């Protein structure tokens, strides 16, 4: 069976593709034909896949919330995107792709974007999706999302008729469609009767009603998320592509089980308890590949591990303190720790974007990976640091985050003699700590969307109060983002995001460590799984009986 499996090639969004994608500001984006509600017989005759059975995945961490409008974490989107969908997203080549919108068209002056909705698409409560649901969902999203600053160009929006929604902009912006398409903290469309008036309330299990291929039927935090096939799902009549394209719900049920300990995930995969194990260690790759019952799949552009500084804290809000840690950090050594000494599984490079991204640039490169403890000592002394305890927060849900903090702390202690403490909590608790000004100075996370898609994903560093930015608020950074949002040409937008990266490094807003791969592992009887972005896409995946 292993001959049919392979590590997918990475997809590069070229400058030409970028121009085609962002040209949605002046052009029409067309979807594939809308398929009728699928039947097993029709699809099985058309596809190789076999229907039926249960798919069980061991994931790294439970989501802190189901409210995808408010939460930036991968754990939340990992659960919700089986159930919820957007108007547009990104395809396999990271260009814009239709989902619930059949097409979109921008006015000649660039000040109006009209989305034509697919007809006959139903929510999992049986109601047809129409423009009133889009308006209600967008209204709630803009009230609660930490990404609101990315929609600064948006003026008003309204339902034109049941299948058309018009968005009016304050100024032409290439960023608008990208902001609508980002697949994290995303613009999920809910039924109006569920989402309207929920601005002040967090969404609960009963609220998670979407148009996707699977219904979320049970969620027990820290235990499992259970899905059942939505029998009336209306798929696009085309191949799977990114978060767009066709989505075939082959499995009767899908269950996601958070298993914090990586060894337990791999052991469960080997015994057949799990069909999928997230984030296998690099040291297990050969064993998984040699085992006839398992198959490792490499995601070459998984994320960029990074350090967050607490900009609300007196100690770590000091620029020279942050620059001292920046000057000290040996990214090669930290990356080797993250990947268990496997240099083939990471790349040390200064850009906030992967080399395959059209936004890749080297602004501020001289401040990256300095490995200069002498300079670090001078900066630390200048900051006024007097031996105060520095608290570094991490978790064991994400193995790379734990190893990153341990490696960084060792450098801080051994080379600068700093007084440090590592607090290990679970991932939801670490998220909660980001909003606390007095209990930590250094934390960690991983960027994915930011390093691949439109740079507006770095909005965590755009507005004061965003928890992922830990209170970062720099007027120069805000001005750079404003310039990008208002850019009328691709060239202007590229220049603005080079400024974003330069300011990030000069201000030591955080520390990008490396470009990190990921190993996902499956049972060998599972067919047609492919890595893309950080998406565990279990639709259009099936088991050979």
239 and 364 share a domain? no
Q: What pLDDT, on a 0 to 100 scale, did the predictor assign at position 201? A: 84
Distance of CA 427 to the CA centre of its chain: 15
Alpha helix ranges (H) inside 82-174: 131-144
53 and 157 share a domain? yes
Instruction: Say if 438 falls within a structural domain.
Output: yes
Give the pLDDT band of residue 482 (cuts 50, 70, 90): confident
Q: What pLDDT, on a 0 to 100 scale, did the predictor assign at position 14? A: 36
438 and 308 share a domain? yes
pLDDT digits (tens, 9 = 90+) for 84-141: 999 999 898 888 999 999 999 999 999 999 999 999 999 999 999 999 999 999 999 9
Q: Look up tokens 């999302």; give the residue.
A: 145
Question: DSSP letter at 151?
Answer: G
pLDDT digits (tens, 9 = 90+) for 355-368: 878 788 999 999 99
Name the burial class of residue 374, with classes exposed (0-12), middle (13-18) and buried (19+) by CB atoms within 10 angstroms of its CB.
exposed
3-state secondary structure of 420: strand
Of 242, 161, 205, 177, the C-alpha closest to 67 is 205
Report the C-alpha gap between 109 and 122 in whole angstroms.
Answer: 34
Of 293, 329, 358, 288, the C-alpha closest to 442 is 329
Higher-scoring residue by pLDDT: 177, 39: 177
400 and 255 share a domain? no
Q: What pLDDT, on a 0 to 100 scale, did the predictor assign at position 33? A: 30
Instruction: Give the count of domains, the chain.
Output: 2
229 and 350 share a domain? no
pLDDT digits (tens, 9 = 90+) for 282-321: 999 999 999 999 999 998 888 899 999 999 999 999 999 9
110 and 211 share a domain? yes
Q: How many residues does the chain have?
A: 545
179 and 62 share a domain? yes
Instruction: Say if 374 falls within a structural domain.
Output: yes
Name the burial class of residue 495, with classes exposed (0-12), middle (13-18) and buried (19+) by CB atoms within 10 angstroms of its CB.
middle
480 and 534 share a domain? no
Instruction: Say if 267 falls within a structural domain.
Output: no
Contact 459, 352 (CB under 8 A): no
Q: What pLDDT, on a 0 to 100 scale, did the predictor assign at position 46? A: 41
44 has pLDDT over 90? no
55 and 35 share a domain? yes
- Pairing type for strands 420-425 and 542-543 reads unpaired
CATH number reported for the structural domain that contains residue 180 in this entry: 3.40.190.10
**Domain span at residue 534?**
2-260+524-543
3-state secondary structure of 116: strand
Q: Averaged over 391-406, what is the pLDDT? A: 95
| H or E element at residue 366 | none
Give the pLDDT band of residue 2 (cuts 50, 70, 90): very low
Report the C-alpha gap between 68 and 358 in whole angstroms.
Answer: 27
468 has pLDDT over 80? no
- Give the CA count within 13 Å in the CB-facing half-sphere of 472: 23
436 and 539 share a domain? no
Q: What pLDDT, on a 0 to 100 scale, did the predictor assign at position 462? A: 59
Tokens of residue 422, six digits: 């590592």
Phi, then psi, of 403 in degrees rounded to 5: -70, -35
Other Cβ atoms within 10 Å of 126 Cβ, number: 9
Of 205, 210, 166, the C-alpha closest to 188 is 210
CATH number reported for the structural domain that contains residue 470 in this entry: 3.10.105.10
486 and 533 share a domain? no
Give the pLDDT band of residue 354 (cuts 50, 70, 90): confident
Instruction: Say if 396 falls within a structural domain.
Output: yes
Instruction: Say if 335 falls within a structural domain.
Output: yes
Instruction: Say if 64 falls within a structural domain.
Output: yes
Phi, then psi, of 406 in degrees rounded to 5: -60, -45
403 has pLDDT over 60? yes
Instruction: Say if 281 falls within a structural domain.
Output: no
For 54-63, 71-80, 157-166, which range has the lowest pLDDT when averaged over its residues?
A: 71-80
369 and 471 share a domain? yes
Instruction: Say if 269 falls within a structural domain.
Output: no
Beta bridge partners of 391: 421
Q: What pLDDT, on a 0 to 100 scale, did the predictor assign at position 210? A: 99
Give the pLDDT band of residue 418 (cuts 50, 70, 90): very high
């Amino acid at each position: 069976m292993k001959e049919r499996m392979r590590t997918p090639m990475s997809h590069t969004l070229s400058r030409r593709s970028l121009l085609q994608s962002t040209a949605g500001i002046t052009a029409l984006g067309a979807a594939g034909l809308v398929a009728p509600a699928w039947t097993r017989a029709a699809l099985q005759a058309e596809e190789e896949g076999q229907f039926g059975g249960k798919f069980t995945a061991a994931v790294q961490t439970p989501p802190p919330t189901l409210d995808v409008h408010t939460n930036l974490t991968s754990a939340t989107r990992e659960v919700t995107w089986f159930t919820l969908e957007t108007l547009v997203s990104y395809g396999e080549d990271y260009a814009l792709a239709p989902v619930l919108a059949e097409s979109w068209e921008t006015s000649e002056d660039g000040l109006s974007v009209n989305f034509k909705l697919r007809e006959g698409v139903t929510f999992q409560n049986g109601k047809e999706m129409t423009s009133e649901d889009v308006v209600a969902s967008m209204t709630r999203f803009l009230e609660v999302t930490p990404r609101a600053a990315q929609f600064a160009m948006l003026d008003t929006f309204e339902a034109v008729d049941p299948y058309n929604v018009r968005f009016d902009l304050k100024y032409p912006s290439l960023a608008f469609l990208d902001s609508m398409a980002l697949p994290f903290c995303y613009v999920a469309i809910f039924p109006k009767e569920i989402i309207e008036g929920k601005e002040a309330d967090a969404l609960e299990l009963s609220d998670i009603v979407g148009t996707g291929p699977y219904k979320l039927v049970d969620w027990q935090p820290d235990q499992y998320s259970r899905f059942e096939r939505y029998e009336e799902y209306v798929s696009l009549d085309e191949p799977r592509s990114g978060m767009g394209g066709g989505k075939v719900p082959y499995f009767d049920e899908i269950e996601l089980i958070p298993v914090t300990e990586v060894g337990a995930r791999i052991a469960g995969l080997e015994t057949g308890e799990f069909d999928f194990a997230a984030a296998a260690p690099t040291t297990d790759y050969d064993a998984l590949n040699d085992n006839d019952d398992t198959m490792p799949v490499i995601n070459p552009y998984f994320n960029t591990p990074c350090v967050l500084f607490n900009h609300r804290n007196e100690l770590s809000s000091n620029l020279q303190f942050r620059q001292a840690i920046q000057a000290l950090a040996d990214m090669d050594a930290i990356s080797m720790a993250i990947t268990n000494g496997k240099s083939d599984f990471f790349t040390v490079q200064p850009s906030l974007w992967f080399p395959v991204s059209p936004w890749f640039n080297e602004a501020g490169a001289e401040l990256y990976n300095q490995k200069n403890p002498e300079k670090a000592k001078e900066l630390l002394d200048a900051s006024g640091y007097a031996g105060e305890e520095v608290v570094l927060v991490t978790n064991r849900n994400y193995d790379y985050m734990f190893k990153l903090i341990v490696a960084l702390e060792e450098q801080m202690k051994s080379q600068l003699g700093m007084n440090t403490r590592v607090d290990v909590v679970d991932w939801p608790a670490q998220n909660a700590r980001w909003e606390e000004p007095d209990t930590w100075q250094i934390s960690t996370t991983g960027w994915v969307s930011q390093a691949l898609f439109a740079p507006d994903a770095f909005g965590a560093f755009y507005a004061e109060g965003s928890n992922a930015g830990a209170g970062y608020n720099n007027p120069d950074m805000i001005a750079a983002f404003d310039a990008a949002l208002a850019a009328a040409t691709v060239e202007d937008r590229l220049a603005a995001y080079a400024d974003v990266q330069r300011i990030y490094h000069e201000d030591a807003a955080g520390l990008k460590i490396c470009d990190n791969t990921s190993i996902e592992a499956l049972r060998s009887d599972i067919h047609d799984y492919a890595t893309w972005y950080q998406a565990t896409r279990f639709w259009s995946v099936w088991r050979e009986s």
